[in-house]
Amino acid sequence: MKYPITVTADGWDFHRPRAAAWLLASDAIRAVRRHWGLLAALAITAIVYLPTLQYYFGGDDFVVLGDIQYRGNASFVIDTLRMRDVVPNWRPLTGIVYLAEWRAFGLHPMAWRLVNLSVHLSSLVVLYTLVVRLTRRPAVGAVSALIFGVSGSHFDTVTYITALPHVLAMFFVLASLLAMVIYAEDGERDWRPYAVSFAMFMLAFLANEGSFVFAPVVVLAYVVFSRRWQRAPLRLALRALPFVALALGWLSFYEWCTCPQLKFDSYAWSPHIFSNYAVYLSFIAYPAHMIPHEPDALRWTLAGVVALAGLLMLVFGPKLARVAVPGIVLALLPFVPVEIWTASRYTYAAVAFFAPLAAMLAYAPYERLRGLHPRARVPVNVLALLFVATVGALYGWQTHARDDRSGQETERWQLLVNELRDNYRSVPPGTTIYIIDGPWTNPMEQYLWVPSVARALYGDAAAFDFPAGTYASGGAPSDAPAVYLQWSNGQLRPVTQEQVLRARR
């Protein structure tokens, strides 16, 4: 019998178990040998982010947690859809995921962070598959996955719980691109990849509404990798229509709506967008230290180099570059109008398009050097591995160092949760918890984060951290249900209302 496996209408069967096991093992070994670069990129990325799994929730994470606990399941989903929740933006799919995580994991941050990391690792697999399909070079795909996996430019994003919209949306964008490429390269014989492409794009939009900017990228992928539309231009219009309609529809709604959930102060189209582009483009290539707010001379120079390299790749590079370069520009487009801050999570999607460009640029001289002489293959391969390992180590080091700093910051919030729980397992509905002289008095913390911690723990409750002088001037206590906690020696201790009011006399 030649084949140890028989497939019939009723299923499959092993006729020679040992031979079948060897056949399956051989296939697995061949797959590992061909795709070992992807496996290495996945392993390195997981190792870099492994320490972040032990970090606690960040302060702004409690805005989501508190809102879910306060509103309840149905109200949270409905208010998210109607843009009446306290969480900025409109991201209903991400809201549903948050709700499922809250009910499944509660206040156990490791599980939440593991979900984010799993989505990120899945994106690496999709990116690798896309790049290998278009370049026929597993090495280019592996380096792309590694750069995207450990890039220091999006530190504090991959496992940061409320950065999930960026991580989740990018997985769907990459899946949409891959499905569109499959549809186009296979001659459009099967409509299902096209349907999957639009479905993935829709999910990306529902996970992060800013993903509508990728509609031109997906359509461009069809233009670049399909030939049939050249003989029938109407075909292009029909294939682009669903993507364009969604993007223009959302853009029109954004312009018409006065929704405070979507429109923020210090968000404007003015000359500062060029300096923001310079910051982000330079930081993607050189993610050293913290992301700056304004570019210095070095950042302007690096941004110019990245922009010039992208332009040359767009004109003279392979087809993949004609999708990746616009992808970088559009990925940053929703964030460059922000005037008052820059954030590492804003580069996350752009790195997914930057990584293949960097990998292709590095692979070109490697391939040329390797072909100079048969004896050059081994030393060139060794040097290439050392170069990739060095770049990956430097990127990973920056990611780890910045994430570690953020992880230490979460200890303050774990302390607050522990202290509140130690003092009150529950409080009456409508209770306000007044903290006196605590370390959570940053304006953003005071305005939203500290109250949200109380909501996450108790539901219908709020907490505020005021200096003692506020009480002395008659600012905080009121007739509403209230409890008071004095911060002293690194702990919160209950005090009576009389003790608080006594300081006012």
Residue 144's pLDDT is: 98
Asked if 325 and 383 sit in the same domain, the reply is yes
Asked if 340 and 417 sit in the same domain, the reply is no
Task: Answer whether residue 49 shows pLDDT above 60.
Answer: yes
Residue 444's pLDDT is: 78
- Global pTM value: 0.92
Q: Per-residue DSSP letters for 402-424?
A: HHHHHHHHTHHHHHHHHHHHHH-
Asked if 387 and 443 sit in the same domain, the reply is no
Task: Answer whether residue 329 shows pLDDT above 70.
Answer: yes
Tell which wins on pLDDT, 299 or 84.
Answer: 299
> Of 394, 409, 424, which residue is a domain's last?
409
Asked if 357 and 486 sit in the same domain, the reply is no
Give the residue-averaged pLDDT of 24-50: 89
pLDDT per position as a tens digit, 343-394: 999 999 999 999 999 999 999 999 999 888 888 899 999 999 999 999 999 9
Work out the percent of the chain whose per-residue pLDDT is above 90.
78
Asked if 137 and 244 sit in the same domain, the reply is yes
Asked if 205 and 331 sit in the same domain, the reply is yes
Asked if 425 and 350 sit in the same domain, the reply is no
Asked if 25 and 151 sit in the same domain, the reply is no
Domain carrying residue 451: 412-502
State phi, psi for 495 to the nearest 5 degrees: -130, 160
State phi, psi for 10 to the nearest 5 degrees: -90, 0
Residue 301 identity: T
What does the DSSP 8-state code read for residue 483?
A: E
pLDDT per position as a tens digit, 215-238: 999 999 999 999 999 888 999 999
> Of 353, 385, 409, which residue is a domain's last?
409
Under 8 Å between Cβ of 6 and 12:
yes
Asked if residue 286 is part of any domain, the answer here is yes
Asked if residue 457 is part of any domain, the answer here is yes
What does the DSSP 8-state code read for residue 449?
A: I
Asked if 220 and 266 sit in the same domain, the reply is yes
Rounded Cα distance between 21 and 84, Å, is 57
Asked if residue 399 is part of any domain, the answer here is yes
What does the DSSP 8-state code read for residue 318?
A: -
Range name among 39-53, 263-277, 332-346 with the lowest pLDDT average: 263-277
Structural domains counted in the chain:
3
Under 8 Å between Cβ of 376 and 369:
yes
Q: What is the CB neighbour count within 10 angstroms for residue 442?
A: 12
Asked if residue 133 is part of any domain, the answer here is yes
Residue 471 identity: Y
Rank 82-86, 89-93, 493-497 by mean pLDDT and report only the highest: 89-93
Token match 């922009």: residue? 307
Q: Within 13 Å of residue 334, how many CA atoms lie on the same side as its CB? A: 24
Asked if 345 and 461 sit in the same domain, the reply is no
Residue 196's pLDDT is: 98
Task: Answer whether residue 14 shows pLDDT above 80.
Answer: no
- Which residue(s) pair with 483 in the sheet? 433
Asked if 344 and 367 sit in the same domain, the reply is yes
Q: By three-state DSSP, how is residue 4 classified?
A: coil
Asked if 378 and 245 sit in the same domain, the reply is yes
Residue 1's pLDDT is: 46
Asked if residue 86 is part of any domain, the answer here is no
Rounded Cα distance between 134 and 128, Å, is 10
Task: Answer whether residue 8 shows pLDDT above 80.
Answer: no
Rounded Cα distance between 131 and 141, Å, is 5
Asked if residue 91 is part of any domain, the answer here is no
Asked if residue 173 is part of any domain, the answer here is yes
Asked if residue 101 is part of any domain, the answer here is no
pLDDT per position as a tens digit, 238-279: 999 999 999 999 999 998 988 888 887 788 889 999 999 999
Residue 497's pLDDT is: 80
> Of 409, 424, 457, which residue is a domain's last?
409
